[in-house]
Amino acid sequence: MSTTKGLEGVVATTSSVSSIIDGVLTYHGYDIDDLADNASFEEVVYLLWNHRLPDYEELQSFKKELADAAEVPEAVIEQMKSYPIKDVHPMAALRTAVSNLGLFDSSADETSEEANRQKAIKLQAQLPTLVTAFSRIRDGKDPVAPKTDLSFAANFLYMLTGEEPDEISEKAFNKALVLHADHELNASTFTARVCVATLSDMYSGVTAAIGALKGPLHGGANERVMKMLSEIGEVDNAEPYIKDALARKVKIMGFGHRVYKNGDPRAKHLKEMSRQLTHITGETKWYDMSVKIDEIVTNEKGLLPNVDFYSASVYHSLGIEHDLFTPIFAVSRVSGWIAHILEQFENNRLIRPRAEYTGPDRQEWLPIEKR
């Protein structure tokens, strides 16, 4: 029995949702560059779930479905207020809140195509409401109810701040959502598929995926990138800080990727967004610092930035608290999780790999008085 650590290079399933071939990321065959430059997030969600882009009427109908489903049960908000607000990370809060959502959906365990579609709409629409509500509750503020006349991206920023965003912020956040929507069989997506392959429900699958995304080697990397930038503080400090970290063999978050050997195709879009937003906010040091770190790590280690690296300064420039970066990742990636969950249900087989045993052999039982 041959094994591969971390299942690297192992093809575990077939999927038509997204692909990474020769360093090119596509969603149902559409290049991520085309989608990032042209698509609304709502169009991308529709594409991931329906295998095609919507026409105008379909898109308007889909937007309305999402907007109408964005409010969460009041009991879930009240439960959130009982969390140990000052001590709990937003990802832990989101994991618990999404699990709670399943308790208030009478169709949670129904498996029909229509029931699953309605659960998909609710989960996609309500994750932003949960993330923004938690952020405001811990700041001692009341949650802001979603509006039905805003785009998905604008509505998130509105519920977070209480103010409708400007066009540039809305466009930047929309692009970030598009770029994070799916990424083939990543750790959280694989977790979601393993969960629902037991014929568990969609809420369980998404809750499990959030648990996997919470880890710093997956979704938590962008938060740690911003922590590093904050510690460096100024552009002139970047080179000595990074070179010292490299000398001590400290992992620089936001660089390298197991799948991409010639660079993450999403990074260039986030780099440009970082440049524009930091210029608008007057805090160009975050972009300049990032570029300097990029140059050093690329030259010294041959590692290129991934999607997490420049997304940190993008979210910071949008005024988003740093520990919300990973929950925002979930707000986008739930679209991909759901696409894979639906695909798993369509042709399901229990996912049950084997393990090569490396423990002791032929042990003999000894009564307890002889041990």
Q: Measured in whole angstroms, how far is the alpha carbon of residue 26 from the centre of its chain?
A: 17
Place of tokens 């618990």: 96
- pLDDT for 260 equals 76
Domain boundaries defined on the chain:
16-214+324-346, 221-317
- pLDDT for 11 equals 85
Neighbour count for residue 78 (Cβ, 10 Å):
9
- pLDDT for 221 equals 83
Q: 356: Cβ–Cβ under 8 A, 6 or more apart, which residues?
A: 1, 3
Judge contact between 59 and 112, C-beta under 8 A.
no
Rounded CA-CA distance 143/23 in Å is 41
pLDDT digits (tens, 9 = 90+) for 234-254: 999 999 999 999 999 999 988
Section 39-66 average pLDDT:
98
Question: Residue 2 pLDDT > 70, yes or no?
Answer: no
Rounded CA-CA distance 140/137 in Å is 5
Average pLDDT, the chain: 94
Place of tokens 């300064």: 313
Percent with pLDDT over 70 in the chain: 99
- pLDDT for 77 equals 97
Question: Residue 1 pLDDT > 70, yes or no?
Answer: no
Instruction: List the beta bridge partners of residue 249.
Output: none
Token pair of 218 as six digits: 């997956």
Q: Which long-range contacts (CB under 8 A, 24 or more apart) does 136-139 make?
A: 136/160, 137/77, 137/80, 137/81, 137/85, 138/85, 138/86
- pLDDT for 220 equals 80
Rounded CA-CA distance 162/185 in Å is 36
Class of domain 221-317: mainly alpha
Question: Residue 268 pLDDT > 80, yes or no?
Answer: yes
Catalytic pick among 105, 182, 294, 308: 308
Task: Compute the Cα dihedral for 75, 77, 81, 84 and give only its sign.
Answer: positive
Question: Which residue type is seen at 248?
Answer: R
Question: Residue 42 pLDDT > 80, yes or no?
Answer: yes
Is 51 labeled as catalytic in the residue annotation? no
Q: Is 21 helix (H, G, I), strand (E, B) or coil?
A: strand
Rounded CA-CA distance 268/262 in Å is 12
Question: Which residue type is seen at 21?
Answer: I
* Biggest distance spanned by C-alpha atoms of the chain: 77
Question: Residue 17 pLDDT > 90, yes or no?
Answer: yes
pLDDT digits (tens, 9 = 90+) for 137-175: 999 999 999 999 999 999 999 999 999 999 999 999 999
Q: Is 230 helix (H, G, I), strand (E, B) or coil?
A: helix
Question: Residue 3 pLDDT > 90, yes or no?
Answer: no
Is 257 labeled as catalytic in the residue annotation? yes
Catalytic pick among 257, 269, 316, 340: 257
- pLDDT for 8 equals 75
Percent with pLDDT over 90 in the chain: 86
Place of tokens 């610092």: 289
- The model's pTM is 0.93
Judge contact between 146 and 159, C-beta under 8 A.
yes
Which is higher by pLDDT, 174 or 10?
174
Token pair of 160 as six digits: 């977070």
56 confidence band (pLDDT: 50, 70, 90)? very high
Q: Report the CATH fold assignment for 16-214+324-346.
A: Citrate Synthase; domain 1 (1.10.580)
97 confidence band (pLDDT: 50, 70, 90)? very high
pLDDT digits (tens, 9 = 90+) for 183-230: 999 999 999 999 999 999 999 999 999 999 998 888 888 889 999 999
Strand order in the sheet with 30-31: 18-21, 24-27, 30-31
Question: Residue 4 pLDDT > 80, yes or no?
Answer: no
